[in-house]
A and B are shown apart, each in its own frame.
Chain A
Amino acid sequence: MEDQDIQSLIERVHKADSAVKLLTAVRSLASSGHQKAIPILIEALGYNNPGAAVAAVEGLINLGDMSVPYLLEQIDGYNYGARAWATRALAGIGHPSALDHLQEAALTDFSMSVRRSAAKGLGYIGWSKLSGLKVAEGQKKAIETLFKVLDDPEWVVRYAAVVGLQNLAVSLDEKSLVKSIFERLEQQLETESELGVCARIQLALQEIEVLGGKI
């Protein structure tokens, strides 16, 4: 895409004078896949327009690793709504540099929908982007965080932690870590009060056993 075209897409976002126009403008900009769209998409997370925010998050996730530094840089001191959307974008991208932020969000954010997406995101981090030693450290951190998230008062957050742990378990090579996840989930099954979460734990245990074959 030519620079001129991306400029006109950006202009359309800034000139939008109705919720619907803003939504369509953000959508077009998001689908451009252009690096120059990133700061404007991040800006759109703070417009208090859920439709536009969803489109911007999708666009940022599709842009992937490129948007991570911008998201991390902008995330502090941002308004709460924008911060929540940015967390979702970081969870969807799964870059290891977002690990600290996702950990904090999964454990302490007051919105359960943010905690839930951060918890899932912790299970979908692209470890190959880290160098050897840091991988083990990061994985351990993600697992420990998700074990804590299993105590969240909201079922949907615990559900997301199970999903995150399952993905970690089937993607990890380190047998002792896989085993610790398997055992922690078995333990959770004993105390979990929500039937739906119990079913998800059961599915996770099955998947880890079948795909892993490493317990």
Chain B
Amino acid sequence: MVDYSEDNKAMGSSTGQGSADDPAYTIEQALSNLQQTDDPSARYYAAWWIGRFRVNEPTAIEALLTALEDESDRSPDGGYPLRRNAAKALGKLGDVSVVPALIHALNCSDYYVRESSAQSLEMLGDERAIPGLIRLLDGGVEAAQQVEGKPHLSEPYEAILEALGTLQAKNAVSLIEPFVNHFVPKVQFAAARALYQLTENPIYGERLVKALQETTLQVRRSALMDLGAIGYLGAVDAIANTLAENSLKLISLKGILEHHLTQQPIKQELDDDLVHLMNVMDSLL
């Protein structure tokens, strides 16, 4: 699940150095801020900004790769804030030459660097990332425990499982399956989502449909986005009936619609399932 709040956090930390809407903050400035090392917070912001505005230039890539190895910017608990932002930005620029560096970053001691790297590797869609992602599943569900005193598990399982699904890691199916029963709902859904993408077995689509009945809105929203991402046609009516904003239901249904449109030429007669789907969308406007 993409976490937009991260972007907001980066925005918030930018006070005084030019915000996203500030026309005075230019690509040149972002690049020079990223290349300098005197002001860590300006560098941190520049890394975020370059990803946000997709500054896909060789100098940007080079500076982000350097930032991904940074040792200077450390958080009190030993994390690498700049590396996190660099890893995120590299996923957004769409340049697969950075894949080996991101694979390497999957071994970083900072959980959030590993998470951002896994998400970026998913975005870049390069299957070279599969073995490195699979390695993070070592120990299986038993090892996937809460880290004491931290708000997260031992590895960023949600991001790892989603990436393996998107990257079509067929050889990972048996490793992913046990995670459907993990104690954290979001991990369960990420596993179901990946397994549906890898096997197209409706059991996994139905697992996500069931999540549309969960009592917390946040979980239902997350299931809506997952169903849209995997294009599970069997979910259409359940999506319409779940308790959530129509806007999110419409995005989810559009995801399913487009998933099926890419499999058949658009000029062709629309099949009944898709017509039904669009009728449901109409009713939610």
List residues of chain A with CB under 8 Å of any chain B CB: 112-113, 116-117, 119-120, 155-156, 159-160, 163, 194-196, 198-200, 202-203, 206
Q: Are B278 and A200 in contact (CB under 8 A)?
A: yes
| A199 close to B274 (CB less than 8 A) | yes
- Scan residues 228-285 of chain B and give those whose CB is less than 8 A from a CB of chain A: 246-247, 250-251, 254, 257-258, 261-262, 266-267, 269-270, 274-275, 278, 281-282, 285
Choice from A159, A196, A203 contacting B285 with Cβ under 8 Å: A159
A113 neighbours in B (Cβ, 8 Å): 246-247
Chain A residue with Cβ nearest B251: A156
Using a CB–CB cutoff of 8 Å, the interface residues on chain B facing chain A are 246-247, 250-251, 254, 257-258, 261-262, 266-267, 269-270, 274-275, 278, 281-282, 285
Q: Assess whether B285 is in contact with A120, with CB atoms less than 8 Å apart.
A: yes
Contact A155 B254 (CB under 8 A): yes
Q: Evaluate whether A195 and B285 lie within 8 angstroms (CB atoms) in the complex, with A156-B250, A200-B278 already known.
A: no
A-B contact pairs, 19 of them (CB 8 A): A155-B254, A156-B247, A159-B250, A163-B285, A195-B257, A195-B261, A195-B266, A196-B261, A198-B266, A199-B258, A199-B261, A199-B270, A199-B274, A202-B266, A202-B267, A203-B270, A203-B275, A206-B269, A206-B270
A196 & B247 in contact (Cβ 8 Å cutoff): no
Shortest distance between the CB of A144 and any CB in chain B (Å) = 20
Q: Find out whether the CB atom of A199 lies under 8 angstroms from the CB atom of B247.
A: no
In Å, the complex CA distance between A203 and B281 comes to 13
The chain A residue with its CB closest to the CB of B279 is A203
A119–B282 Cα gap in the complex (Å)?
Answer: 11
A206–B267 Cα distance when bound, in Å, is: 11
A194 to B258, CA, bound (A): 9
Q: Please, which residues of chain B bring their CB within 8 A of the CB of A202? A: 266-267, 270
Which B residues lie within 8 Å of A195 (CB)?
257-258, 261-262, 266
Residue in chain B with minimal CB distance to A167: B282
Known: A116-B285, A117-B285, A120-B285. A196 touches B258 (CB 8 A): yes
Q: Is the interface of B mostly helix, strand, loop or mixed?
A: helix
Residues of chain B within 8 A of A203, CB atoms compared? 270, 275, 278
A159 vs B275: C-alpha distance when bound (angstroms): 14
Beyond A112-B247, A155-B254, A203-B270, 18 additional pairs, beta carbon < 8 A = A119-B285, A120-B285, A156-B254, A159-B281, A159-B285, A160-B285, A163-B282, A194-B254, A195-B261, A195-B262, A196-B258, A196-B261, A198-B261, A199-B257, A199-B261, A202-B266, A202-B270, A203-B275
| Chain B residues near A119 (CB-CB < 8 A) | 285
Q: How far is the CA of A156 from the CA of B270 in the complex (A)?
A: 20
Q: How far is the CA of A112 from the CA of B245 in the complex (A)?
A: 13
**A-B residue pair count with CB separations less than 8 angstroms:** 50
Q: Output the nearest chain B residue to A160 by Cβ-Cβ distance.
A: B285
* Chain A residues, Cβ within 8 Å of B281: 159, 200
Residues in A neighbouring B254, C-beta threshold 8 A: 155-156, 159, 194, 196
CA distance A160 to B282 in the complex (A): 7
A194–chain B nearest beta-carbon distance, Å? 8
Q: Could you say which residues of chain A place their CB within 8 Å of the CB of B285? A: 116-117, 119-120, 156, 159-160, 163
A135 and B282 CA atoms in complex are apart in Å by: 25
Chain A residue numbers with a CB within 8 Å of B274 are 199
Docked pose: A163 CA to B258 CA in angstroms: 17
Contacts of A199 in B (CB 8 A): 257-258, 261, 266, 270, 274, 278
Contacts of B246 in A (CB 8 A): 113
- Please measure, in the bound complex, the distance between the C-alpha atom of A155 and the C-alpha atom of B285, giving whole angstroms: 12
Question: Within the assembled complex, what's the spacing in Å between the Cα atoms of A155 and B251?
Answer: 10
Q: Return A50 CB to nearest CB of chain B, in Å.
A: 8
> When chains A and B are docked, how far (Å) is the Cα of A117 from the Cα of B247?
11
Q: Which residues on A sit within 8 Å (CB–CB) of B247?
A: 112-113, 156
From B247, B258, B285, name the one whose CB has the most chain A CB atoms within 10 angstroms: B285
Cα distance A120–B257 in the bound complex, in angstroms: 20
State in angstroms the CA–CA spacing of A159 and B261 once bound together.
Answer: 16
Given contacts A156-B250, A203-B270, contact A196 B257 (CB under 8 A): yes
| Nearest-neighbor residue (CB-CB) of B267 within chain A | A202
Neighbouring A residues of B257 by C-beta, 8 Å: 195-196, 199
Distance of A200 Cα from B280 Cα, bound (Å): 12
Complex contacts, A160 vs chain B, CB 8 Å = 285
Q: How far is the CA of A113 from the CA of B249 in the complex (A)?
A: 12
Tell me the bound Cα distance from A156 to B285 in angstroms: 8
Residues of B within 8 A of A206 (CB): 269-270
